[in-house]
Amino acid sequence: MENATRLLQETFGYQGFRPGQEELIRHVLEKKNVLGIMPTGGGKSICYQLPALLLPGVTLVVSPLIALMKDQVDALVDNGIPATFLNSSLSAMENQSRLQDLAQGRYKLLYVAPERLQSGELVRLLSCIQVSLIAVDEAHCISQWGHDFRPSYLALPTLLATFSGEVPVIALTATATPQVAKDIQELLAIPDENLVQTSFQRENLAFSVVKESPDTFLLEYLRMNQSSAGILYCATRKEVEKQYQRLQHAGIKVGRYHGGLSEQERTRNQEDFIYDRIQVMVATNAFGMGIDKSNVRFVIHQQIPGNLESYYQEAGRAGRDGGPSEAILLYSPQDIQIQHYFIQQSEGDLAYKQQEYLKLREMNQYAHTQMCLQRYILRYFGESGSDCGRCSNCLDEGETVEITREAQMVLSCVKRMGERFGKGLVVQVLSGSKNQKVTQWHFETLSTYGLMKDWRQKDLTDLVEYLTASGYLDAGDGQFPALRLTNSGVAVLKGEENVYRKQPKVRQLETDDALFERLRLKRNQLAQAQNLPPYVVFSD
Ligand code: ADP
Ligand code: MG
Ligand code: ZN
């Protein structure tokens, strides 16, 4: 390990190891199979790049990110480390010449796209030369339960078998639920004791959910943060275009990025963002993987993503320099439908879709929970932790009020409707709608019909979501979620349990702008106490 520390300082120019790096590198040097789960920006690359220099022969790096490969290889070569890559962007001739160099042992690192592993020629060549380590980056792609499954990753176990288990494997990912981790371990033969997981906690990230007038909020927020850079994620190209126009109109320095643009324009916009010529990048999730911009101060989701893995990975692009940063979810209920549609249209089988619907449900509940948002995410990844003290829930000073009676109205309506319908119809019945579906099932004859007609539809929906997020209702798991009472829901209905909620009524009176202003002041007091720069630099 002394050699490793020296290399870290001399070749890579870092003072010391970050959490997890040393342990992972030690396992690799002892020729053990390891899985490293570290947050985005945690420094996973070093964990195979450094051993590659200490081991004889070549290290094979499997990565799905073709765009990223070139950057990584360029960076290595600039550092005097012989590295190259093979992927579909190369001409046949270039490909051949690299394979020849490889056969002659000219490289220490070879990056390949997973599809390449199905090429007999490459695999034969690999079995003739000395391969000392196989690094599997973005290892969650091997799991069908992951959010980004790539069938070509399944060629890996076969490849490993050709080396008869003598070449160690290091698998790396930023997003692994316990189930995905188990999958990776099984497929790549990684024992439990060689799992290295550093905390997903990000001390410098403050999470918020904005539900009230998200559009107004966004403009106000961007105006107040003109001196800091951020990303606005949208679910579709169409929405990117829409927001791009809108922000441009509002005089904000904005760029756009999605798969429908020419490669030229994408590259140009990306550079504008990296070199701070624009403030905000409006983008689909095609943007961000492998973009190493450390001073991203905020990541805002204009639309809810499909699962918490994606959300945390995208939100995690803020504050890679360790400075205080914000991750904000703008929530509009209809955006759930978009994700629902994506799942419906996806190619997976029924079991896969069920799983994705469940994940979407957990994502939706994130927007409605009153638990610490950081803790909610960590719990999803199987990690326990204490309240972060920074998120919009932790900082919400709202008074807790009892809402047992209101909860009973909702629960009783669900029950009377036979526990066979989704929240939309439940809300309509409670608010006394004359909608065709309501009359078709004769719900206007129920005693709970119109029972909450004084409520704004939005607040009513919010209440139902809150009861679901708090475990009084279960939203089912299929494509057509039907609300059902859980055991605690039944207890509430029987009067055996009370329901509490942070004052939703008072909160309605306060715009999210005002709420945010309050949060900002408090966060900055915290930041000051920790000697950190403030969250927002006012432009005027
Ligand atoms: P990941 O793949 O986990 O998202 P990277 O390997 O791309 O992260 O590293 C993220 C950033 O952290 C890079 O800019 C890298 O140079 C830097 N980095 C990695 N290890 C260290 C270290 N030990 N000390 C300081 N910076 C590091
Ligand atoms: Mg990486
Ligand atoms: Zn919190």
For 420-464, write each residue's pLDDT tens digit. Answer: 999 999 999 999 999 899 999 899 999 999 999 999 888 899 999
Residue 272: pLDDT over 90: yes
Q: Is 46 in the pocket of ligand 1 (CB under 6 A)?
A: yes
The finding on whether 40 has its CB within 6 A of some atom of ligand 1 is yes
Note the pLDDT of residue 386. 87
Q: Is the CB of 44 under 6 A from ligand 1?
A: yes
The pLDDT of residue 533 is 58
User: What residues contact residue 13 under an 8 Å CB cut-off, 6+ apart?
Assistant: none
The larger pLDDT score, comparing residue 190 to residue 69, is at 190
For residue 532, is pLDDT > 70? no
Instruction: Determine if ligand 1 sits within 6 Å of the CB of residue 225.
Output: no
Q: What are phi and psi of 124, to 5 degrees?
A: -60, -45
Decide whether any atom of ligand 1 lies within 6 Å of the 313 Cβ. no
Q: What ranges make up the beta strands (E) of 113-213?
A: 131-136, 169-173, 195-197, 205-210
How many Å apart are CA 297 and CA 381, to the nearest integer? 24
Residue 380 CB less than 6 A away from ligand 1: no
Which range is least confidently modeled, 64-73, 189-198, 414-423? Answer: 64-73
pLDDT at 303: 97
The pLDDT score that the predictor gives to residue 245 is 97
Torsion angle defined by CA atoms of residues 269, 306, 377 and 399, in that order, rounded to the nearest 10 degrees: 100
CA distance 505 to 264: 50
- Cβ of 41 closer than 6 Å to ligand 1, yes or no, is yes
Above 70 in pLDDT, residue 515? no
pLDDT value at 516 more than 80: no
Q: Is the CB of 49 under 6 A from ligand 1?
A: no
State whether residue 224 is helix, strand or coil.
helix
Q: How far is the CA of 42 from the centre of ligand 1 (A)?
A: 6
Instruction: Give me the chain's average pLDDT, please.
Output: 89
- pLDDT > 50? residue 506: no
Atom nearest to 18 CA in ligand 1: 23
CB neighbour class for 404 (10 Å; exposed up to 12, middle 13-18, buried from 19) = middle
Give the residue from 66, 62, 135 showing the smallest Cα distance to 290.
66
Segment 520-536 shows an average pLDDT of 64
| Confidence band for 540, pLDDT divided at 50, 70 and 90 | very low
Q: How far apart are CA 425 and CA 191, in angstroms?
A: 48
Measured distance CA(437)–CA(193) in Å, rounded: 56
Mean pLDDT of 171-191: 91
pLDDT of residue 539: 31
Task: State mean pLDDT over 141-154.
Answer: 86
C-beta of residue 111 within 8 angstroms of C-beta of residue 61:
yes
pLDDT at 147: 76
Q: In three state form, how does the secondary structure of 326-349 look?
A: EEEEECCCHHHHHHHHHHHHCCCC
36 lines ligand 1 (CB under 6 A): no
Q: What number does the ligand 1 atom closest to the CA of 47 have?
A: 6
Q: Per-residue DSSP letters for 17-28?
A: PPTTHHHHHHHH
pLDDT category of residue 384 using cuts at 50, 70 and 90: confident
Phi, psi of 240 (to 5 degrees): -60, -50
Among candidate residues 350, 408, 348, 399, the one with its CA nearest the CA of residue 370 = 399
| Max Cα-Cα span within the chain | 82
% of the chain residues with pLDDT over 90: 61
Phi, psi of 396, deg, nearest 5: -75, 115
pLDDT of residue 508: 41
Q: Which stretch of 183-187, 363-367, 494-498, 536-540 has the lowest confidence by average pLDDT?
A: 536-540
Closest CA to 138 of 216, 238, 38, 205: 38
Residue 201 has what pLDDT? 83
| Atom from ligand 1 closest to the CA of residue 44 | 3
Alpha-carbon distance of 126 to 507, in angstroms, equals 62
- Return the H-helix or E-strand segment holding 32: none
Q: What are the helix and strand counts (H, E) for the chain?
A: 22, 17
CA 137–ligand 2 middle distance (angstroms): 7
Q: What pLDDT score does 530 carry?
A: 62
Could you tell me which residues are beta bridge partners of residue 111?
Answer: 61, 85
What pLDDT, on a 0 to 100 scale, did the predictor assign at position 19?
87
Give residue 522 CA to ligand 3 midpoint distance, Å.
Answer: 13
Ligand 2 ion: residues within 5 Å (CB): 44
The pLDDT of residue 151: 87
What are the phi and psi torsion angles at 270 (to 5°)? Answer: -60, -40
Q: What is the pTM of this model?
A: 0.72
- What mean pLDDT do residues 300-327 have? 92
Residue 158 has pLDDT above 90, yes or no: no
pLDDT (mean) for 92-120: 92
How many angstroms separate the alpha carbon of residue 88 from the centre of ligand 2? 20
CB 311 less than 6 A from any atom of ligand 1: no
Q: Answer yes or no: is pLDDT of 61 > 90.
A: yes
Q: How confident is the model at residue 347 (pLDDT cuts 50, 70, 90)?
A: confident
Residue 63 in contact with ligand 1 by CB distance below 6 A: no
Q: How many CB atoms sit inside 10 A of residue 253's CB?
A: 15
Rounded average pLDDT over 471-489: 86
Index of the ligand 1 atom closest to the CA of residue 8: 23
**Any idea which ligand is nearest the CA of 522?**
3
In this prediction, residues 316-325 reach a mean pLDDT of 87
Is 416 touching ligand 1 by the criterion CB < 6 Å? Answer: no
Span from the CA of 377 to the centroid of ligand 3 (angstroms): 10
What is the SS3 string spanning 66-128?
Answer: HHHHHHHHHHHHHCCCCEEEECCCCCHHHHHHHHHHHHCCCCCEEEECHHHHHCHHHHHHHHH
Q: How far is CA 319 from CA 171, 206, 538, in A?
A: 25, 10, 18
Question: Bridge partners of 195?
Answer: 35
Nearest to 189 by CA among 168, 175, 173: 168
Does residue 403 contact residue 502 with C-beta atoms inside 8 Å?
A: no
The atom number, within ligand 1, closest to the CA of 39 reads: 3
35 phi and psi angles, rounded to 5 deg: -120, 125
The mean per-residue pLDDT over the stretch 407-413 comes to 95
Q: What is the pLDDT of residue 510?
A: 47
**Ligand 1, from 18, 63, 68: best to mutate by most atoms within 8 Å of Cβ?**
18
25 lines ligand 1 (CB under 6 A): no
pLDDT for residue 491 is more than 50: yes
CB within 8 A of 258, min separation 6: which ones? 237, 240, 283, 284, 286, 287
CA dist 301 and 7 (Å) reads 40
CA–CA gap between residue 52 and residue 58 (Å, rounded) = 7
How many A from CA of 536 to the centre of ligand 1?
26
Nearest CA to ligand 1 atom 27: 43
